[in-house]
Each structure stands twice: as structure tokens, then as C-alpha cells.
Structure 1
Amino acid sequence: MPNTEPLPPPPAENRVPGVDPRFVPRTRSANFTSVEQYFDDLVHRLLDRLPATGIAGAFAEFVAFVLKQAWACVFGFLLLAVIFAAKLWYPEGAALARNDVLTLSAVAIQIGMIVARLETLRELRVVILFHIVGTLMELFKTDIGSWSYDAAGILRVGAVPLFSGFMYAAVGSYMVRVYRLFDLRFTRYPRPWLTVVLAALVYANFFTQHYIVDVRWVLLGAAVLLYGPCVMRFRVFRRTLGMPIVVAFALVATFIWFAENIATFSQAWLYPEQLSGWQPVSATKLVSWFLLMIISVVLVTWVYPPRRPAERHLAATGLAA
């Protein structure tokens, strides 16, 4: 449980009807870094002036949601921006290969995230683990021809440029940051050991599907059954909302799929069907990214074990446990 320091309650006219005022007041979260706390204070100074109800209240919640999501995506956004910029402006035939520039840029972004206190050392453990898990899969997938990278550059392991692991790390960075920025809580979360077993089967299938039957659809069904009853609670600004966690998985998977289209358009890597000319990544990849969410969530729970909402939290928001 994070330590919180309650601030003075909002004016009566800014309280949300039907919501316990003990829950509505803003709290200083021990989960924020000092930089995040500074920006959180700044946003509150601006948005606290708006009423809590009506269009103005909904606008405040929307702005806070977008800002938090953007902040959680900063690693992935910067990495994707570098990949796209290298495609547009990095000269062909330069002494330093583009892949090596991407790797050095990714390292610089990661160091900058820590130095600027945009990411905690605790979160860095998960990011590194994502990097390792992703690189191992990259080595296998490129070896069997599932996708390929430009062969130029020396900062690589086999056919895999080292920047590729940072793309998985970007997913890990988003997952751990969104967990604390939105103070995620869960009701009816599945038994942890079952989630670990499912994640292990999903990861194994990424390899074994090339030698035996591909059971991704079976695993997808198992994931929906296992996580289906679970509801994710997330604090936006003044309000706490609920969403089935499988819907959250699908939304994040869709976002990653869009990012993958940008990356392949920038020729960071290419699928076999794109070698003769770029075309959008197959929508069937959405299933793969959805299943990756299962692995991702299990890795994140290593740092942030799933927490249940407080009882007054549920009562105040009118959400059933």
C-alpha cells in the first residue's frame, strides 16, 4: 500500500455528488518520482479550478487521463520518434550504421529516464527483464525467418540488433509506469500461480508453434476465461473508474500494433510479406500482442503485486467488488 498524505478536501461545490468526499480529495502519492510530483502539482493547480461535474468536470478527467497516458508512454514515444527520424534523415552509407545509431539512442533514452527521474530503479528491474525476454525471442524468430533486420551494424547479437530489446523494454516501461500513475487496483484478480502458468505457456508457444500445433487461439480463450472476471480500477483525476482487464489488454495490444506499423514503415524490421514493399502489419498480430500482455502483466507483478481496492474506494465509486 502506498503511503499517502491527504490534502484539504475540495470546496463543497467541487465535490462529486454521491461520492464519499473522503475519497475525492487529492493525495500525495509516494509512488510518484520528484519530477512527477512537480508536474502533478502543476496540473492540479490548473485543473482544480474546474468544477467536478458537468462538461468541465469531464474535460478535467479527460485531460488528466491523456497526460498520464502520455507520461507513461514517454520511453516508447521517444524510441519510436528516433526510429522514424532515422528513416527520414539518417544518411545512407554513413560510417555508423543506422542500427547502431538506434541502439546508442535507446541506451541514451534509458539512461536519461533514470537520471531525469522519469523512471525508478525499481521499475528498471522490470524493464531489463522485458529486454532479456524479448531479445531471446528475437534471436529465435529472426533465425527461423519470422521477421528480419538490416544486416548492417556491429551492436548486435547474431542477426538481432541490440536496439530490438529496447522495444520490449518500452512496453515494460509503459506497464510499470501506468500501474503507479493510475494507482491500479483489481477485483477478482486470478490466482497468481495460474497467471504464471498461462504466461509460461504463452511464451513457450511463441517458440513451439513452429514445430508443433500453434495453440494461440486456445491460449487466447484461456486468457479470456482466466482474466474475464477481473476488473481494473484506475484513478484518473477526481474519479476512479473501472474497466474489465481483458478490455485493457485489447486496447494496449491495438496501440502496440499501430506502433509496430510505424516501426516497420520506418524499416526498423520487416516481415517477409513486407520485403517487396511495405504494407500494413497483419491484423492477426493483434492476437500475439494480446498474449504478450499476459506475459507483461506477470512480469510487472514481480515489482507491483496486484492490490485490491479499499472498501471505501468501492463504496464511494459505486463499483461492486
Structure 2
Amino acid sequence: MGGTMNVLRRMPIPKPLTALFAFGWQQALSCVFPVCIFAVILLTKVVDIPVIPEYDFVLLVCILVQWGMVRWGLETMDELKVICVFHLIGLALEIYKIHMGSWAYPQESWTKVFGVPLYSGFMYASVASYLCQAWRRMNVRLQHWPRTAYIVPMGAAIYLNFMTHHYIPDLRWMLTVLLVPLFRRTYVDFDVLGVTRRMHVLLSFLLIGWFIWLAENMATFLGAWQYPDQRNGWSMVHLGKLSSWFLLVIVSFMIVAQLKHVKKEQRRGA
């Protein structure tokens, strides 16, 4: 990767374009695991997988990819632990949402738990993988990150609202409004070609959520899961889902940031 960055520095193109390309390259490298998931889902649509159901084949490949990323140094053991936590969190949310009829996994599978194939947890884990990879590759630093006493209740409220809105009014917009004062002074610093760049953390959440929404459209088109309005044929995922991904990214980022903070404190105390 260092060689690629050196080549970019020597290219006779304007520095802003070079920096933009370098940023995109780092983002692409951080998306190795999500790309692998989409690649295997696409493969199951163009090739008949013998012996094993499609959902189980995707699960097997996800496990092998995770093993390979750790084995060849693309992912650390600490990052793998974070991804496993996200797999469990995502799987719990999936089981609940399936029970409420929010979406469905119509195909047969040996590894379904309460109607949810185990590979689905990796869809959430891929978000964590991206965050961890980007954090390390771009040397992410947080400026004016809110206190834990504020972050933990907010993260819990956002996650629980994904479940409770089936019984009580949806509080997502109220929670979104509360994020403004909570993160009003919070910025993300990151390095591109040795230069520190800065972005407001809420803008970064929105951009990540936007790309996940685009990926969700690709995933439903490929049959990774199915919303009720897609039973008679694929249609674009409602733009309103962008708000859900925006909030889910925030929960994911909160967890990763808190774990990074804990790890940093442990190193200081060592």
C-alpha cells in the first residue's frame, strides 16, 4: 500500500485530485470484507451451488474470509473481536425484525436460527470491519468526543428504538435531533498522503449511511434478503431507510470508538 501512495505522490495531476484518489483507495481497501460478501452473494446468483444451500455457502465463505484476513495480517485479533460483537448484535436485531415481519429470508438454510440465516450477522459485522480498517489505515482521531455517560445511553436508546417502534411511537427523529447538540463539537481527523484532514462526525455518519443504503439496494437485488414490497419483484429500497442506516452507523461508530478508547487507556496503564 505504501508503494501505491508513493506512486500517487509522483503523478503529474493536481494535488486535490491526488488526495481524493488516495482517500478513495484507502476506503476501498477498508471495504475488503463487505466486497467479499457481495461477491459471494453475486456468485450464488450466477452459479448453481451444489450440495449446500446458498445461505450456508455464503456463511462458509464469510468465515473463511475472516480467517484469511486475520491469517494474512489484513485484520488484527482485536478487530476480529469487535466484528464478533457486531455479529451477535446484528443477529439479535435480525431475529427480532424477522419476527415482526420487517423483512424475510425466503430460501431454505441449514443454519437458520428463528428464521434468520447465520450469515446475516456478517452483514452488520462488515460495517464494523470497514470502521476498524478505515480507523487503522487512515489514523483516525476523534476531537471532542462526548463523555461515556452521554454516549452509552444514546447508543442504547438508538438500538432499542429499532425494536420498540413496533409498539410505541418511532423516536428516530427525536433521537436524530438530540445528536446535534451531543456531537456539535465533534470532528474526525484522518490522514491522507501524510496530510491531516478533518470532517464533522455527523457528516461522516451520513456519508457512510448513504453508501450502506446503496449497498442494501444491491443486496436486495441479488436476493440477500427481501422486504415485503419486494415479494412480487425487486424495487428500490425506500429512501427512508437511509435514516435507519444513519442511526445504525452511529451505534456502530460509538461501539468502535468506545472500544478504541478502552484499549488506549489500557495501553496507558500498562
TM-score (ref. length: structure 2): 0.92
User: Which residue in the other structure is 2:225 paired with?
Assistant: 269
What is the 5 A alignment of 1:1-321? 39-40=1-2, 42-50=3-11, 55-90=13-48, 94-305=50-261
Tell me, in whole angstroms, the C-alpha distance in 2 between the residues paired with 1:232 and 1:168: 22
For each residue in 1:138-166, what CA deviation from the matched residue of structure 2 results, as whole angstroms up to 9, or x when unmatched? 00000111000024010121200011000
Name the aligned partner's letter for residue 220 of structure 1: T
- Give percent identity, aligned residues only: 38
Structure 2 distance, partners of 1:190, 1:303, is 14
* 1:294–1:44 Cα change, 3 Å: closer
Aligned-pair distance for 1:223?
Answer: 1.7
Cα deviation digits, residues 235-293 of structure 1 (max 9, x gap): 11132111111000000000000000000001110000111110000100111011112
| Equivalent position SS for 2:259 | coil
Runs of 4+ aligned residues of structure 1 deviating over 4 Å after TM superposition are: none
Deviation of 1:90 (Å): 2.7
- 1-structure distance, mates of 2:117, 2:46: 19
Q: Deviations over 1:73-132 (max 9, x none)?
A: 1100111111122122235xx431111111111111111111111100011111011101
The alignment partner of 1:303 has SS state of helix
**What is the SS of the residue equivalent to 1:243?**
strand
Per mean C-alpha deviation after superposition, the further-off stretch among 186-195 and 282-291 is: 186-195
Instruction: Considering fraction of residues, name the structure with more helix.
Output: 2
Task: Output the CA distance in 2 between the equivalents of 1:271 and 1:50.
Answer: 46
Secondary structure in 1 matching 2:260: coil
1:43-62 CA distance string (max 9 Å, x none): 243234357xxx43223312
Q: Secondary structure at the match of 2:261?
A: coil
Match of 2:83, as an amino acid?
V
Aligned partner of 1:80: which letter?
F
In structure 2, how many angstroms separate the alpha carbons of the residues matched to 1:83 and 1:236?
32
Query: Unmatched 5+ residue regions in structure 2?
Result: 263-270
Q: How many matched pairs?
A: 263
Please give the TM-score of this superposition, normalised by the length of structure 1: 0.78
CA distance in 1 between partners of 2:178 and 2:109 (Å): 41
- Partner SS, residue 59 of structure 1: helix
Secondary structure of the residue that 1:242 maps to in structure 2? strand
Q: Over aligned residues, Cα RMSD in angstroms? A: 1.7
2:5–2:22 contact (8 Å) kept in structure 1: no
CA contact (8 A) 1:151 1:159 kept: no
* Amino acid in structure 1 at the alignment position of 2:186: C
